[in-house]
Amino acid sequence: MSLLNVKVTAVEQITEQVKQFTFELEDGGKLPYFSGGSHVVVAMDIDGRIHRNAYSLMGPTSDNERYTIAVRKQEQSRGGSVFMHEQVKPGTRLQITPPTNLFAINKLAKKHILVAGGIGITPFMSQISDLNRLGYPYELHYAYRSADQAAFRDQLEKLCGDKVHFYVDDEGRRMNFTELLIQQPLGSHIYVCGPNTMVNSLVLMAKQMGWPDNAVHSEKFLAPATGEPFVVSLSLSETEVMVPGEMSMLEALEEAGIDAPYLCRGGACGRCELEVVDCDGELIHHDVYLSDAEKISANKIMPCVSRANCSRMVVNL
Amino acid sequence: MEKGYSIKSKPIYGTLVWQDHAMHHVVIAEGEGGKALLKLFQQKLPREPLSVLYLAADPQAEKYATTVQKIINEPVTIKDSQAELLNALKATLDSCYMGTQFYVAGTEGFIWKVAAVLRDAGVDDKNVFKELCGSLGRRLYCVHCKTTNENVHHNIHVCTGCGRHLIVREHFSRLMGAYMGFMIDAEVPGEIPAAEEIYP
Ligand code: FES
């Protein structure tokens, strides 16, 4: 994948845990245009190891001079967000992938209902710029834990006016999914981004209330799970790669210099799919791409988030 | 017909089955689709609000209509022209929300006219349950003069618009609800095979 060389031109503290970063091309040219809901993957060199995290682009989609992303510091994570918070300063040089969109609005929808939890607000920032420009009807529901964690609230009030609704957990103002889903006009589409539990329960509720699957869009921030180390053997290139416990299979392959495909790095798009030829243990699927039947049949794996409890796995690569 | 040949744009129709999670069911049928309606109500009478719209334009259809009314014990909207039925459907849509499941049974032409009304209201035809009933006659769109020919039963059809002999292709346009018809003797004028009735 061809990467873009960028430099950080601004870092802004948004809330105690959230920082916003602005990137421009290192040589000052124009960045590729993107559509609302797009993300880029940022490559970080952490002590000689390349770490890659996906972040949504937040800026207005009309701006191709700079990209902005927001990163929430996850203390328990494997270091990507901590690195962004602690090491990345104005002037830092980074590599990013060109934008890809796995969370685009459906332009045929009659109404768009956007639901964000916490840092899950980020993809909606650029979607809103699209929706405002196109004049499409929408409403945004944004839940966060407490008033001091209300990232981008002022900006949203300005951008969305009375279309935005805030829900503050510790003030007891909770989102009621049934209310969001009931009596919405035909042709509505709903988009949800936030913590796993929130996304899962909204998707389930929509199904139970008769919403068709293709009107329900979701994005989760799945961090690759850690686990036991194992060896991946690549049948086509006749190489063996050791996957350490704290690294994903995809990361281990990349580290070994193998150009493995990926897009979302979150188990959602299916791009990284590998065929499992053999495995002397059990596959542990964490993705949301494969169907349950495919997971059981155990001959495919999404190495960006999934791994195995085994000593050796053979894949067709 | 070539073995194994099928084309993605060609719709595949199923059998109507209730969608258990729906909050409201809207069932639209015409003519022989009355039988699909009866089969559907033999599965069960759903608990959720139900709207039934039926186009009954012949004695057999009227019989189905009477039976349906007896079974479901709720008012059924019965019309004797397609235009009126589609208007009644539009009126029904004003009180429909997300979570409404739509079911259509009838000829292919009817199914796609209903789908067009639903599409205008924002309903994706992929989410509409469809059962093909009655005549297999196709709607045929002449790519030369843009006339839509109704109830085409033969594989070669003389276009009512331009008089060309059209071969009925498998390419189907969901937007127009019609198969594409191409002039059969474009290369050798006058060389026209005998037409067969393959869509009775
Ligand atoms: S990269 Fe998208 S599923 Fe793995």
Nearest chain B residue to A190, by CA: B98
Q: In angstroms, rounded to a whole number, what is the distance separating the alpha carbons of residues A183 and A204?
A: 17
Q: In angstroms, rounded to a whole number, what is the distance separating the alpha carbons of residues B82 and B65?
A: 15
Q: Complex ipTM, two decimals?
A: 0.89
| CB of A263 closer than 6 angstroms to any ligand 1 atom | yes
Q: In angstroms, rounded to a whole number, what is the distance separating the alpha carbons of residues B79 and A288?
A: 47
CB contact under 8 A, B122 and A185: yes
pLDDT score of A221: 66
Q: A38-46 and A18-25 as β-strands: parallel, antiparallel, unpaired?
A: unpaired
pLDDT digits (tens, 9 = 90+) for B51-99: 999 999 999 999 999 999 999 888 899 999 999 999 999 999 999 999 9
Cα A220 to ligand 1 centre (Å): 12
Collapsing DSSP to helix, strand or coil, A282 comes out as strand
> Residue with structure tokens 């969608």?
B19
pLDDT digits (tens, 9 = 90+) for B100-118: 999 999 999 999 999 999 9
What architecture is the A4-101 domain classified under in CATH? Beta Barrel (2.40)
For residue B161, the one-letter residue type is G
Indicate the residue of B93, B98, B101 with minimum beta-carbon distance to A181: B98
> Residue with structure tokens 């919405």?
A184
Indicate the residue of B23, B99, B123 with minimum beta-carbon distance to A187: B123
Q: Measured on CA atoms in the order B14, B19, B20, B24, is the torsion positive or negative?
A: negative
CB of A52 closer than 8 Å to CB of A36: no
Q: In angstroms, rounded to a whole number, what is the distance separating the alpha carbons of residues B197 and B200?
A: 6
One of 3.40.50.300, 3.40.50.2300, 3.90.1150.10, 3.10.20.30 is the CATH number of A230-315, namely: 3.10.20.30
Residues in Cβ contact with B192 at an 8 Å cutoff, skipping those fewer than 6 apart: B156, B165, B184, B185
CB of B37 closer than 8 Å to CB of B29: yes
Q: Which CATH class is domain A111-219?
A: alpha beta
Indicate the residue of A182, A186, A208 with minimum beta-carbon distance to B122: A186
CB contact under 8 A, A210 and B98: yes
Atom of ligand 1 nearest to the CA of A304: 4
| CB of A36 closer than 6 angstroms to any ligand 1 atom | no
Atom of ligand 1 nearest to the CA of A305: 4
Find residues 16-35 of chain B whose CB sits inside 8 Å of chain A.
19, 21-24
Nearest-neighbour CA in chain A from B135: distance (Å): 30
| SS3 sequence of A154-203 | HHHHHHHHHHEEEEEHHHCCCCCHHHHHCCCECCEEEEEEECHHHHHHHH
Q: What is the pLDDT along chain A (317 residues), one digit of tens a residue?
A: 689 999 999 999 999 999 999 999 999 899 999 999 999 999 998 888 888 899 999 989 999 999 999 999 987 777 789 999 999 999 999 999 999 998 999 999 999 999 999 999 999 999 999 999 999 999 999 999 999 999 999 999 999 999 999 999 999 889 999 999 999 999 999 999 999 899 999 999 999 999 999 999 998 866 677 889 999 999 988 899 999 998 899 989 988 989 899 988 888 889 999 999 999 999 999 888 899 899 999 999 999 999 999 999 999 98
CA triple A95-A100-A102, angle to 5 deg: 140
CB contact under 8 A, A208 and B96: no
Q: What is the mean pLDDT of chain B?
A: 94
Give me the residue spans of the domains in chain A: 4-101, 111-219, 230-315
Tokens of A243: 């996957």
pLDDT score of A49: 83
pLDDT, average across residues B31-53: 96
Nearest-neighbour CA in chain A from B5: distance (Å): 27
DSSP assignment of B16-75 equals: ----TT-SEEEEEEETTHHHHHHHHHHH---SS-EEEEEE--SHHHHHHHHHHHHHH-S-
DSSP assignment of A234-254 equals: ETTTTEEEEE-TTS-HHHHHH
CA gyration radius for chain A? 20
Interface contact A167, partner B, CB < 8 A = no
CA distances from residue B142 to A126, A244, B1, B145 in whole angstroms, order as listed: 44, 63, 21, 6
Nearest-neighbour CA in chain B from A189: distance (Å): 9
pLDDT, average across residues B141-154: 95
| Strand ordering across the sheet containing B138-142 | B148-152, B138-142, B178-183, B165-173, B156-158
Nearest-neighbour CA in chain B from A121: distance (Å): 24
